[in-house]
Amino acid sequence: MKNTIKVSILLFLMIQISACVTIRQGNVGVKRTVGRIDQKILEPGAKLYNPFTTRVIKLPIRTENIEVALELPSKEGLNVRAEISILYHIQKEKATSIIGEIGMNYERIVILPVFRASAADVTAEYMAKDMHTGNRFEIESAIKDQMLKIIGERGFIIEAVLMKSIQLPQGLYKAIEEKLEAEQDAQRMEFVLLKEKQEAARRIIEAEGIRDANKIISEGLTPQIIQYKSIEAYRELSKSNNAKVIIGGGQQPMLLEP
């Protein structure tokens, strides 16, 4: 009798332990009882349930990351190899409908097919080189918006589509590099020509200034002024302690040192 009681207590404890589930932060729980989905969402924490008739399905509602490698078509008909990350999360309010209508394989069933179709539709409107330049953000935003139009109402929030790496066809890489080099050479040449023009303009202004100065000086040198300046020169020389011999007719003096 005592053994029977012990066995019964042990079975009861085992049932109680198995009937408790812990839902961690960033997740919610959905009850499936005899094949039917309970519309009440289980919040994080310890929850009790009947293990014989009910199953608790844990569903993450935090941000998830899917990394995809695929070939994307371009406007000119080329295939561009790309590695892309899809950041998304599930709306908590839609957890029960997602489990009931799609199941736990929602990434494979819904998100990835919609992403591939949306990405192909968007990139087909752009040249291959656009995926490698400043248009990348525009392409990412367009893919994200198109995905939201299709699966947003079903409870999937696409936070971002990130094109991490793009591998263009080898010939296109070379063409882009040559174009960039040509643009850099043209910019350098423009800088050199601009510098030469500025230097030429500076020389013209300098020459014009010298010409105008000489013109002003020549116009102001009258015979009377020249004679006056000569007299001043004689006066300054006469103040010198050194012996000097000055020969001149009052116009252009000659200075001789003994």
Q: What is the mean pLDDT of each run of 10 residues along the chain (258 residues)?
A: 63 61 90 87 85 86 93 85 93 91 92 95 87 83 94 94 81 59 71 82 81 68 64 66 57 49
pLDDT of residue 171: 61
For the chain, what are the domain ranges?
A: 10-60, 64-170, 223-256
Residues 6+ apart with CB under 8 A from 168: 78, 80, 128, 129, 131, 132, 176
C-alpha dist (Å) from residue 55 to 32, 58, 92, 107, 254: 5, 10, 19, 21, 125
What pLDDT shows up at residue 46?
86
The burial class, CB within 10 Å (0-12 / 13-18 / 19+), for 235 is exposed
Q: Return the CATH fold of 64-170.
A: Tetrahydropterin Synthase; Chain A (3.30.479)
Looking at residue 33, its pLDDT comes to: 86
Q: What is the pLDDT of residue 256?
A: 45
Q: Tell me how far apart the alpha carbons of residues 27 and 83 are, in angstroms, rounded to a whole number.
A: 28
The pLDDT score that the predictor gives to residue 91 is 93
pLDDT at 17: 53
**Residue in 187, 74, 192, 52 with CA at minimum distance from that of residue 125:** 74
pLDDT computed for residue 255 by the predictor: 47
At 50 the pLDDT is 78
| Residue 69: per-residue pLDDT | 92
pLDDT confidence of residue 135: 83
